[in-house]
Amino acid sequence: MTSKIKFIFEPYATELAMARRDEAKVTGQPLVEKPYYFQHIETGQLFYNLYGCVGWPSEITNRDDGLPGYIAIVGIVKPEKEAEDYKTSEALFQLLGEYESKDVPRLLTKCLELRQECGFGTQPQLLTVWYGDDERFETVRNLRNELLMRQGGERAAILVTPPDDFDTPLIFDNYVRSIRSAILAKRLYFGGCDIIQNRLIEFKRDDPSVLAVGGLVHTLLSRSMWMQEIGKNIFVVGD
């Protein structure tokens, strides 16, 4: 499958990174923009980075067979021209692709296809992990990962890491509030992805799609992962 995303280094990336880091130290900023970004080949849209999320199929009960599992990839939008007062840490989020299925192996296969379509391998850290529950369906993932790693090494594995505050009470409530906050702030855009939009309208408790996107958005709002930390010891003029 051909990637629709290409990786772009800024001109004189090393020098630019050092200059941005020095400026951040002087101004007391804890984060700095990275000297690279990504571009959608077909649309030309730019992104600081891309992240994947997964919500596993909900539990089968004696009433029904649960809700489908869900995966999505979200891009952090980089404007072509930044205004003087633009803050990179407050960048917009846009869904680039999504998929749902009640079949876990099919969901994993689609993870591979979707990440490949969105530039996996064009940069070492791009889409190497998915944000979601890292304990559910662990055996199924491990069996798939054994095959993937034999074919392409450790980087080929489908790795899952919990989003922020995943182990705290009322995570569904927290994640729904984060989604709503991002929508109200006009930071979250769905593009042509209508699965999550429809599921938000239906609004069923512990919906896997809402947990997936909500967990990722909650994490993105908590910490600007697409930017580079410069360390806790910030140099300030006059110290």
Q: What is the mean pLDDT of each run of 10 residues along the chain (239 residues)?
A: 87 60 61 86 96 95 89 96 83 97 97 97 94 96 96 93 94 96 96 94 94 98 86 35
Structural tokens at position 96: 């680039």
User: What CATH number should be reported for the domain holding residue 202?
Assistant: 3.30.420
Specify if 237 maps to a domain: no
* Total of domains in the chain: 1
What pLDDT does 235 receive? 30
Asked whether residue 75 is domain-assigned, the answer is yes
Determine, yes or no, domain membership for 234: no
Residue 236: the pLDDT is 32
Asked if residue 97 lies in contact with residue 114, where contact means CB atoms within 8 angstroms, the answer is: yes
Q: What pLDDT was estimated at residue 232?
A: 39
Q: What is the pLDDT of residue 17?
A: 60
CA-CA distance, 152 to 149, in Å (whole number)? Answer: 5
- Check residue 3 and give its pLDDT: 92
Q: By the 8 A CB rule, do 96 and 42 touch?
A: no
pLDDT number for residue 21 = 66
Structural domain boundaries enclosing 80: 5-229
> What are the φ and ψ backbone dihedral angles of 221, each rounded to 5 degrees?
-70, -30
Helix 208-222 / helix 195-202 crossing angle, nearest 10 deg: 100
